[in-house]
């Protein structure tokens, strides 16, 4: 399971210093991605790129559905939209895809910020369970 103390620490740091979001998300063992209202990656940390086997340049600006299996894309797209509306998400476990097609079982926690770039964003904290 994901470390909730660590996600709380990072959420607090992001809230206090949103202008440093790229530096803050690197300071953890978790994989982290930040998506905007259009469900596109705004930032990913080094751990995220390691697990998902993508370079940052292959993700930033793209839909997060790039790492989601076809069979759950509609559900996860709907949940992203709902999260942006209500800003609350339950911790969950999902299956995602790496660039090579490997299925990864992950647990996630999410945070909301309207301070990053002065716009609404979802910060997803990821722990790969079947590493």
Q: What is the pLDDT of residues 75-121, one digit of tens each?
A: 999 999 999 999 987 788 999 999 999 999 999 999 999 999 999 99
| Nearest residue to 48 (alpha-carbon basis) of 86, 22, 9, 80 | 22
98-104: long-range pairs with CB below 8 Å, 24+: 98/51, 98/52, 98/53, 98/67, 99/52, 99/53, 99/54, 99/58, 100/53, 102/53, 103/69, 104/51, 104/52, 104/128, 104/129, 104/130, 104/131
If one compares 45 and 92, the residue with the highest pLDDT of the two is 45
Q: What is the pLDDT of residues 58-67, one digit of tens each?
A: 999 999 999 9
Parallel/antiparallel/unpaired status of strands 41-44 and 121-128: unpaired
Counting beta carbons within 10 angstroms of the beta carbon of residue 75, is it exposed (0 to 12), middle (13 to 18) or buried (19 or more)?
exposed
Cα–Cα dist 125/28, whole Å: 10
Write down the pLDDT at residue 88: 86
- Tell me the whole-structure pTM to 2 decimals: 0.95
pLDDT grade, residue 11 (50/70/90)? very high
Write down the pLDDT at residue 130: 75
CA gyration radius for the chain? 13
pLDDT grade, residue 131 (50/70/90)? low
Cα–Cα dist 83/112, whole Å: 8
């Amino acid at each position: 399971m994901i470390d909730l103390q660590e996600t709380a620490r990072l959420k607090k740091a992001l809230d206090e210093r949103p202008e440093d979001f790229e530096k803050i998300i690197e300071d953890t063992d978790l994989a982290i991605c930040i998506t905007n209202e259009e469900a596109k990656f705004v930032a990913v940390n080094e751990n995220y790129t390691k697990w998902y086997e993508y370079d940052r340049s292959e993700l930033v600006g793209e839909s997060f559905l790039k790492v989601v299996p076809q069979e759950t894309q509609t559900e996860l797209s709907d949940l992203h939209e709902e999260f942006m509306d209500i800003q609350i998400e339950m911790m969950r476990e999902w299956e995602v895809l790496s660039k090579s097609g490997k299925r990864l079982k992950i647990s996630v926690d999410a945070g909301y910020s309207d301070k990053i770039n002065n716009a609404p964003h979802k910060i997803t904290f990821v722990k790969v369970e079947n590493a």
